[in-house]
Structure formats: C-alpha cells, structure tokens
Chains A and B, each alone.
Chain A
Amino acid sequence: MDEIATKQQLSDCLKLMAAFFYEPETELFEEENVCRNLSNLFQSFCPEACISVDDMYLALQNSSQEELQIAHAELFVGPFTLKASPYGSTYLEKTRMVMGESTMEVLKHYERVGLEVDIKQPPDHIAIELEFLSYLCGLEAEALQDGDRKKGVELAAEQKSFLRAYVLPWMPQFVENIRTGTENTFYLCLADCFEKFLRQLTILSKDTDSYSSGVKKIYVDATIH
C-alpha cells in the first residue's frame, strides 16, 4: 500500500479510536460500522489489535446501552471518583488538576495549525488529542498527495512531537486505570485494543528518520503519573 493511503488509514484509525472515548452509542456505532471499519484498518496497520476490536464488537452486541453508559461514566466522567481520568495534565503534572501548564502547551499545538476546541472539555482529553493526531495525519496525507514533501515531513514531525510529549507518557497509567476501574467487557477490550494500538504508535514515533528534527522538548515533568 502506498504511503498516502497508509497515512489516511492511520488518520482514520486515530479518529475511530477517539470515538470510543465519547459516550457509547451502540446504535450509532453499529450504523456506521465503526468496529468493522476499525478492524479492517487494523489488519494492515496493527493486526494484533483486530481480535480486540472484534471482542469490542461482540461486547457491544451483548451489553445494554445503560450498562455501557454506566461503565463509561465511572471511568471517564464521574460524578464521584474519576477512575480513569481522560485528561493528560492529571497524569503529566504533579497536582492532578485540569488546565495545567501541559494543557496550555497542548492548546498551543492546536492553535498552531489553526484549530480551537469546540466542545466543553479540557483540551487534553484523550479523545481530543487523538482527533488532533488524526487531523495532522490527514493533513500529511494531503501534503503528500500534493507532492509537498517538506510540509509532509513537518506534519509528521509535529505528530511525533505531540505524541511523545503529551500522549504516550500517560498512556500506560491511563490504560491500567481503565483495566482496574471497570469490569465491563467492552471497556476491558477497548483497553486491550488501545494498548496494542499505542504500541504501534510508539514504534512509529521512535522511527528516527527525517521526522525527528521537529521534536520539541517540553518542560513538564512527564515522569510523574
């Protein structure tokens, strides 16, 4: 498969993964074939995650909407203890607050490419960050399509920089929190799927070809989870 198609597919993978962190809507997912599409995308990009997506599909079929909503709320919404906080700053910074310094850095990345957050959530919500990566990846595919390799390289570097600084550092703890925070099969399968996908992204981000020149160091201590 050519490079452009690969980028497009990665972009799609990222946004479909993002979708699973929104409130679960079984009917919508079913109508839009979200699981099937993701499974197909993963066949070339991340084959080991296919089985998890298939399990997610089965779990969706076998769970009531209410069960899914309860599990989703407990993990990512509340109202009491947020079992798997979906906000980057709560892992990347010492005080477990939203809208921290790292959040503002994330926002800066969005602004740099002409985007602003259009939902009532802190900008470093995992779903928003994944959509951002998807968007960049899509732009990269466009650039490559246009033959603008320089722009493509810059966009790839931006993805990696963002991924390494603001996403990957908190993912192990986030995935672990999902696992320990729920007994719901769908979200346990999502954790498996997401972990495998992240592994693939990590491998890509370590690829030290020309992309690495754009990586920017951030001042936030990313080792504190």
Chain B
Amino acid sequence: MKIKRRDFLKLSVATGAAATVFRRQTLNAFAETKKSTLIGERPGEWKPSTCQGCTTWCPVEIFVQDGRAVKVRGNRYSKQNDGKVCPRGHLSLQQVYDPDRIKVPMKRTNPQKGRGVDPRFVPISWDEALNTIADKIMELRDAGEPEKYCLMRGRYTYMRDIIYDAMTKVIGSPNNISHSSTCAEAEKFGSYYTEGYWSYRDYDLDKTKYLLVWGCDPVSSNRMIPAAIKKLGDVIDRATVAVVDPKMNNTSAKAHEWLPVQPGTDGALALGIAHVLLIDGTWYKDFVGDFKDGKNRFKSGEEVDETTFEDKEAHGVVKWWNIAVKDMTPQRAAELSGVSADQIIRVAKGMAQAAPNVCVWMGPGCAMHVRGGYSAMAVHALAGLTGGTDNEGGSLQTAKIPVNKLNKDLLKTFQDDLAKKHSKMKKIDQRGYLNLPAISKGKSGGGVSTNNVPNGILNKDPYGIKMIVGYMNNFAFSCNGTDRWEKALSSVPFTVHLTTNASEFSQFADIVLPCVVNMFEKYGFVKTKANRYATCTLLQPVIEPVWDVITDESEFPFLISEKLKERGFPNLYDALTTMYADPETGRKAKNAKEFTEYALKYYTAPLWDGKKDSHGDKINGWEEMKKRGMWNSDAYKYKKHWGGKYKTKTGKFEFYSETLKKALGGHAEKHGVDIDKVLEESNYTARGEMAFVPHYEPPYRSGDMKEYPFVFIDYKSRLNREGRSQNCPWYYEFKHVDPGDVSHQDSLKINPSDAKKLGVKDGDKVRISSTGGSGECVAHLWEGVRPGTVAKSYGQGHWAYGRTAAADYAKAEERGINNNTIIPWEIDRLSGSNARNGGHAVVKIEKV
C-alpha cells in the first residue's frame, strides 16, 4: 500500500498563512462517485460458486450485498446437497475476511531460513515479484537444469492443468508434485485392486439397508457431508448403521453399532466379518458365485478346492479364503482387533440379511497406515462379498462428466528439446524406486508420494532442487514428520508460496504472493459426486477481493509466461494462449483475467455449448452456465460394471487381485527382484501369494510401547476447512461440535481409567511425546476412546500463521500441538500415501 499521488502530501495552504480558497482536494485512497442509493439500500443477490472446505466440493450460493459476502447456502440446483451446506460453508466467511490474509506480494530480506527465524518480509510490487521469479526460472533453463524447478500443489480445482502440467512441462521439469497422497491414495488403492476404481466411491444412502462406515465420519467429513447429514436420520430408521472407528465419532454416536477397533487392525476385523459371511454361506451369490453343487465348503481353518466353486461377477473368493480368511475366525479377529467376536458375528449376519443393499463406506482411517494398502482392500472386499458394489443401496462409481481435457499432444509442441528431455527425468519424490512402488492404477511409480519429497530434497536424490513454487499448500504442517519438511525447505535456495495466508510453508519462502480465497474470489471448476449424481460446479468470483490478489492456477502462469516471453522464452505464453483460446470466438487472451475465463470456458464447454448430449442438465450457453453455477449428470445407473466390465485384469471384482499381482510383478521386474523383495523393502510382512489378496498386516508402531504406552489416534474436525480454518475465531468457539472436544482447547481425549493411572484430571495441561516430536495440549477425560489409546483432532498447533491460529509467531510458539509433529514421518510405500492413521504413532503423556 503505497502513496499513489505525490500531491496528496502537499499542503493545502502554507502554514501560518491566511486562509486561501482551495478547491478539489487531492485524494489518495478515494475517488469521487455518484451512486443514487446508499449502502444497505441496494438489494443483495445469491451468487453461485463452490465450497472447497472439504472434498465434498459442494455447489453453493453466496449472498452478496454491497459487494460483501454475508451468507452461504447450497446451490438450489444441486441434486447432491439440495441447497444445504455443512458448518464449513458458513465458516468460510471468516476465511475470506481474515485480517491476517496476505495483502500484497512480499519478499524475504533475511537469507537465513528456519523455524523461529524471522524472514523479515517486506512488500514488493507485482512487477518485482514476477520478474524475480521469471529470472530464477530462466537461470535454471540457461544452466540446463530445469528439472530443479518443482511445483508443489495443495488444494486445487481442475484448472490445475495450467500451473501443474502446462507450466511445469514447458519449463522442462518432471516435478509437478501433488498433495494427493496426503489425502487418501491408500484408500483408492483398496478400491482399485479389488474393483479397478482409483477414486472415491459414491454411496447410495437412499436405498441402503445396511450402512457399514469404516474409518471415517460421513456427517463430519469424507466427501458428501450435507447429503449425509440430511439422510443419516432416515438411514438409521430404515437400515442398520454400524461404524468402525477407534474413537467415537458423530456417526457412531447415533449408530446401532460402534466397533471401536484397535488402530491398525482393521484388516483383521474385515477378514473376521468375511469369515462369518463365508462359513455361514451368506455371501451374495448372484455377485460372488457359488459352489457348483450348492454345498457350502467354507469351514474355519479348512482349505477349499478351488475347482468346486464357480465365480460369477467376482474372481478368486476361494483363493482368498485359503490364503487369508480361513484362519481369521471371529475369535481370532476379536483378539487382534479388540472388537468382540459377538459383535463381529452380529454385524456380519446383519450385512448378510441386508445383502445386496449393503453400503460399505470405506474412509481413510482404515487405509492411511504404514501397511494400509491391504487393510483398505480387506474392507472394500466386504462390498464385493455382500454384492453391494456398484449396486443399489451400495457403494457406486460415478457418472461421466464430459468436460474437455488438457490437450497433451498440443502441449508437447510447445516444449523445446531441453524441456522434452528433462521433463522425463526421475521425480523428486522417488516414486517407483524399489522401496517406493507407489503403484497407482497398476503402474510402478504411477502415483505421487508427497511425504517422500523431503527425503529427495535432503539427499539430493535423484538431484537437488533449487526452486519451489507451492500453491494452496502447507506441507510443513499438513504432512506427518514436520521436522523433516522444515529441514528440507530450509535447504532450498528459492521458494515461492502462492497462498491466502502465510503459514509454516511461507516461513521458508523467498517470495509470498497473495492469492484468492477459492470459494469467493476465483474462477475454476471441480468434478464431484454424491447421491448417484455427478456434478461439475464452477468456482466464481462473487465478490471483488478486498486485497490485491491473483488466481494461483491460471493468472500466475499467465503472468509468468509474459515475463518469460520478455526474456526470450515465449513457449509458455504461446502454449497458454493457443491451448486456451476462447472456444466460442477463437480469440487469444490478452491478459491474465481474460485468460482465466477462456480457460474455464475451454474445459467446461461440452456442458453448455449444446454440441453433444451431455447426459445431464441442459444448459444453454456460457452465461447460463455461470448463472446456474453447476451441471448435474443423469442419475448413475446401477451395475454398470457388472457383467465383466470392472476395469481389473479379469474384468471382475477381484478377491484375488490379478491386477495387483501384475502391478507388483511389473515393479519387481523393473528392479530385477522378486515380489517378496518388493514387499520387504516396502515394510510389509506379506510374502508369497498373500501379496495378492486382502489380508491382515500387523500394525506398525514407531517406538517402544514400554516407553510410549498409548496409541495415538488422529481425526478430522467437522470445522476443518481442510487445513484452512484455524485462523477463524469460530473454529475455537464452536470446537465442542466435535465429540469429546472442548471449545477453545486443543483437547487430548484420554479414557478416564488411563487418566486415573496417570494422575491426570480433566482440564490438566499435558505434554504428549512420540519419537517424532512433543508438545502441550489439554487433557479431556472421555469414554469415547478405549483404554490404551488417546485421540486428538488435527488442525491446531500452528507456530507460523495469523494471530488466532498461532500462539506467538515471534517465538514460534504453537497454539496446541500439531498432530503431524506427534505422528512421526512414515509412508505407505505401496500407495505412496502419508501414514497418519493406523496408530503407528505411539505416545507418552505427562502432566505438565
């Protein structure tokens, strides 16, 4: 904020002189206006956009009056949320009007980087910021090392292609690193290596007769929240609801069954349920198949002859039984999981009775473990066993959203030889290394391993990184093992952070750039699904931003492309203006704002241009699309993948995963080893045939339980706008809406019997320590966690953020303690995921 008119500083009259007439004062912050009505008199308007407070990605409407956003509701056209939003939607108002937002571009003046080291940021002009960044990119290209540029992507819209793919590839780097494995890649692993679907599932709550929720809390988080809030009451009346979660959550508090599983033992519990379904002969035969003579041969502990069974829509149930299920009796499962055999049997029988209208809602809690891949498969296998996969009342895949894709072939034409060669180099997250298969969609190294990036950077393996551009991310807070990220980021010479708020990641940045708050200030689009409807919903700038911000995914690349062109490298500019010309007029964008809208039109055109049937809402042109803000598909058709149409190797739902066998085999072959060696290097215990079936892996614990006697449970608050609401005062005021939590506290839930042994009373300040780190929080005695476990919500514990989120930035003092400091660094190597669940963090608790 600079003085823009020098005359403003001149006096109207010389001091001491007699008054003279002076007219037309020089204004600096003001301009003259002639509005016929005043503030408060003008009507407001509901304007459509999209909430990205969680991954439901709700189509919303925002009431805007006098240029100010004041209320939020669901989009009236949405067939997912029926015009409703969850608490996160409302909380967003405190995000957009947060006084601690970044207001102008800033640069670091202290070259030393580290936690607690003041970067001494000062404002700079946009021109200086963009010139500096462009110079750094050109330095890398001129030195023939563009691979040392790294783009780190946090939350995104599908406009991500521009900054993530196009910009990175045209510069010539392979390092576009997504946050995705922080979220739930291990969960996708579960559905992919059973039913060939690398994505989150939809859930048919309207028709379900048995809802088995596993490792999540659908009314609080996990991808269709307003619908879950609205429907859960009816589901409880109509169906049976069972929730597997090591701590009581909102859904389990209302459910018929709560199965408080010991963290990390989900695989055993799932197999125990499968065991009952099989020995009882109650698996869903129209899907799984049956014994040729109709006689059930599944008996505890006994092998079954495969030839006696005829598969139907599924593949290999007998093999699975023989390898992993036959010995997992409910009693054995109970010993391992801490859930009683009676409850296991009861749940299994209930599911059998409801089959095939069984909805297995698998969440990250059963997947994001050090050894979580098979656990996710085991849970999802229950959907297959009960015929509830891709079926009425079950878990579903999605209807198509016919938007345009990035034209990769065209993009390649804008890469010069340097870019072509270097963008194919190994990536900094080491995906595809022997000990990091990250076998997304069957391909060795096909998936990202976000949390392994610091290892790549610190070890300069495959090479050093000299420049990072991070957007809407805070990996130094959101990834477990925060100390490793702090070290890695300190070592990078030049980092740019595009963000709404300065955070721990910005602490290591050389330039921070103020960016839009997605829901209110940005053009973009996302694809989502719920209630059988796929949705494309637009993010739109419903208000004029208060500060001088840009759109990260589109304006930033465009502005940089102009600067690179000035420096004799026009490729990015040419690529962007050609690839994203206005689909209606063919015009090329002349500025960043025009470019952004053209790009959005390019992607979404098939939904509104009327050229082809979109198999959903009929929308007449771009203006109508913007006005509605969204498009709904037709309802998803059940059993779309039955009849051998699953995208697995066999075309069937695989209990014995030929798809995984091929993927692991491919990875092993690439490294010249056998699959057992791959599993050994990946920290899994399975050997031989066990590697290809859903099975129980003993949970991994990072530390000696004699020293760290409690298993730590991490969970998400229903007020977490992912990680972006901790500077909102309402977050703390209403924190009690999370079961077991207390407002204005970072509550550590301890079972009263454990607290008694520790001499800890409710409200005592305690220190929690693991092999990863240590910090202070407040003990809350609560029966919602079982003895031997403690639970704390992710979110608090910022040491570098705004006034509300951080206790004392100058002293790097946290408000509470970040769960990701307590959870030591670990990953699930098969999927590449961060390991945050499954209880690998073991802790000790001391009264302070």
Contacts and interface: CB of A to CB of B under 8 A. Distances in A.
Given A81-B802, A138-B22, A127 B29 contact: yes
Interface string B8-33: 11111101111101110101111111
A135 B27 contact: yes
A32 B512 CA distance: 32
Nearest to A100: B97
B298 interface: no
Given A19-B8, A80-B802, A115 B32 contact: yes
B349 to A, nearest CB: 51
Interface in B102-118: 102-104, 106, 109
A145 interface: yes
Contacts of B99: 82, 85, 87, 90, 96-98
A12 B11 contact: yes
Nearest to B506: A79
A28 interface: yes
Interface stretch (B222-230, B380-388, B396-404, B540-548): B540-548
Contacts of B456: none
Interface stretch (A69-77, A154-162, A210-218): A69-77
B13 A117 contact: no
B34 to A, nearest CB: 6
Nearest to A68: B122
A202 interface: no
Contacts of B100: 78, 80-82
B408 interface: no
Contacts, number: 208
Interface stretch (A53-61, A104-112, A187-195): A104-112
B825 to A, nearest CB: 25
B38 interface: yes
Contacts of B729: 95-96
Contacts of A108: 38-40
B66 interface: yes
Contacts of B801: 80
B33 A111 contact: yes
Nearest to A66: B109
A110 B30 CA distance: 9
A5 B15 CA distance: 9
A34 interface: yes
Contacts of A47: none
Nearest to B21: A145
Contact of B38 (A111, A132, A138): A111
A18 B30 CA distance: 13
Contacts of B102: 78-79
Contact of A142 (B21, B106, B502): B21
Scoring A97, A131, A145 by chain B CB atoms within 10 A of each residue's CB, the highest score goes to A97
Contacts of A18: 28-29
B3 interface: yes
Contact of A131 (B29, B501, B810): B29
A176 interface: no
Interface string B511-526: 0100000000000000
Scoring A96, A117, A134 by chain B CB atoms within 10 A of each residue's CB, the highest score goes to A96
Contacts of A1: 16
Interface in A169-206: none
B30 A131 contact: yes
B31 A118 contact: yes
Contact of B66 (A107, A122, A132): A107
A37 B802 contact: no
Nearest to A106: B39
B803 A32 contact: no
Nearest to B805: A81
B71 interface: no
Interface string B85-129: 000000001100111111110100100000000001111000000
A220 interface: no
Scoring A25, A80, A121 by chain B CB atoms within 10 A of each residue's CB, the highest score goes to A80
B378 to A, nearest CB: 45
A77 B106 CA distance: 10
Contacts of B109: 66, 70
Given A40-B16, A81-B806, A69 B40 contact: no
B19 A116 contact: no
B12 A116 contact: no
B511 to A, nearest CB: 11
A46 interface: no
Given A8-B13, A80-B100, A118-B29, A99 B68 contact: yes
A115 B541 CA distance: 24
B22 A142 contact: yes
A107 B544 CA distance: 15
B12 A11 contact: yes
Interface string B60-88: 00000010100000000000000000000
Contacts of A81: 100, 802-803, 806, 809-810
A23 interface: yes
A23 B1 contact: yes
Contacts of A4: 19
B653 to A, nearest CB: 50
B30 A73 contact: no
B188 to A, nearest CB: 35
Contact of A15 (B8, B32, B66, B547): B8
Interface string A118-150: 111110010110011011001101100100000
B730 interface: yes
B331 interface: no
Nearest to B514: A79
Contacts of B31: 115-118
A77 B29 contact: no
Interface in A12-48: 12, 15-16, 18-19, 22-23, 25, 28-29, 32, 34, 37, 40-41, 43-44
A209 interface: no
A104 B19 contact: no
A112 B38 contact: yes
Contact of B123 (A12, A69, A128): A69
Given A2-B19, A23-B2, A80 B29 contact: no
B35 interface: yes
A52 interface: no
Interface string B29-49: 111111100111000000000
A127 B21 CA distance: 25
Nearest to A22: B3
A126 to B, nearest CB: 11
B351 interface: no
Nearest to A11: B12
B800 interface: yes
Contacts of B546: 98-99, 120-122
A204 to B, nearest CB: 18
Scoring B11, B546, B548, B800 by chain A CB atoms within 10 A of each residue's CB, the highest score goes to B11
Given A22-B2, A79-B102, A82-B99, A131 B15 contact: no
Contacts of A120: 1, 103, 545-548
A203 B76 CA distance: 54
A207 B638 CA distance: 78
B809 to A, nearest CB: 4
Contacts of A69: 122-123
B804 interface: yes
A128 to B, nearest CB: 4
Nearest to A119: B29
- Nearest 6 CB-CB pairings of A with B: A79-B502, A4-B19, A118-B31, A5-B19, A69-B122, A116-B33
21 contacts: A2-B18, A11-B25, A15-B9, A19-B9, A22-B1, A37-B11, A66-B122, A70-B121, A78-B102, A82-B803, A96-B99, A96-B729, A97-B97, A115-B30, A119-B4, A121-B547, A125-B1, A128-B29, A138-B22, A141-B19, A142-B23
Given A81-B809, A98-B97, A120-B545, 15 more contacts: A5-B19, A8-B22, A12-B12, A19-B9, A66-B122, A79-B102, A79-B106, A96-B804, A97-B93, A99-B68, A108-B38, A114-B34, A121-B546, A122-B546, A125-B29
